[in-house]
C-alpha cells in the first residue's frame, strides 16, 4: 500500500485503472505486481488482456457482439473476433463458451492455433466436451 502512495499521481491512476482487487486470490500480490509494473513502465502494455473491450465501431456482427457481451470477453479477445473476416465471424458467433473457465483465453488460444476455420469451430461449437477438457 505504501509503495502505491509513493508513486507519482499519474502512475497511481494507471494502477487504480487496472481494476478492483476483490476477485483476486491474493490482492496484496496483485497490487504489488501492478505497482512494480507501473514503476518499470510496463503497466498497461497488456494489449487489452483482462481489460474490458472498447465499444464496437463501424459494421458490427451482431452474433460476435452478443458473444463478447455474454461471456464478458476482454479487449484482446473482442478485438481479435471483430477483426475476423465476416464468414469466420459467422462461425465464431455460434461458439458456446459456457464450459470454458476463462472464455477470453479460450478464444485467444484457438485463434492463435489457427483453429478459426469453419470445420474446427463447427466441431467445437457442437461438442461441449472440447470446452470442458480444454481449460
pLDDT value, residue 15: 81
Mean pLDDT score, 47-57: 67
- Please state, in angstroms and rounded to a whole number, the distance separating the CA atoms of residues 28 and 97: 31
Q: How confident is the model at residue 66 (pLDDT cuts 50, 70, 90)?
A: very high
The rounded radius of gyration (Å) of the Cα atoms in the chain is: 18
Give the least confident one: 9-18, 71-80, 81-90: 9-18
pLDDT at 129 over 50: no
Mean pLDDT score, 72-101: 88
How far is CA 105 from each of CA 7, 15, 71, rounded to the nearest angstrom? Answer: 31, 23, 11
Region at 64 (left for phi over 0; alpha for psi -120 to 50; beta for the rest) = alpha
Mean pLDDT score, 69-93: 89
> Which of the 8 DSSP states describes residue 25?
S
pLDDT value, residue 70: 93
The answer for residues whose C-beta is within 8 angstroms of residue 68's C-beta and 6 or more apart is 53, 77, 78, 81
Amino acid at each position: 500500500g505504501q509503495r502505491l502512495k509513493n508513486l507519482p499521481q499519474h502512475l497511481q491512476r494507471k494502477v487504480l485503472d487496472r481494476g478492483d482487487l476483490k476477485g483476486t486470490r491474493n490482492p496484496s500480490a496483485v497490487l504489488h505486481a501492478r505497482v512494480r509494473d507501473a514503476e518499470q513502465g510496463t503497466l498497461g502494455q497488456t494489449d487489452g488482456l483482462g481489460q474490458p473491450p472498447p465499444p464496437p465501431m463501424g459494421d458490427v456482427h451482431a452474433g460476435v457482439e452478443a458473444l463478447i457481451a455474454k461471456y464478458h470477453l476482454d479487449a484482446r479477445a473482442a478485438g481479435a473476433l471483430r477483426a475476423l473476416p465476416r464468414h469466420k465471424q459467422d462461425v465464431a458467433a455460434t461458439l458456446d463458451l459456457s464450459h470454458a473457465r476463462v472464455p477470453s483465453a479460450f478464444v485467444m488460444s484457438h485463434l492463435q492455433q489457427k483453429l478459426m476455420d469453419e470445420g474446427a469451430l463447427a466441431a467445437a461449437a457442437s461438442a461441449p466436451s472440447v470446452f470442458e477438457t480444454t481449460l
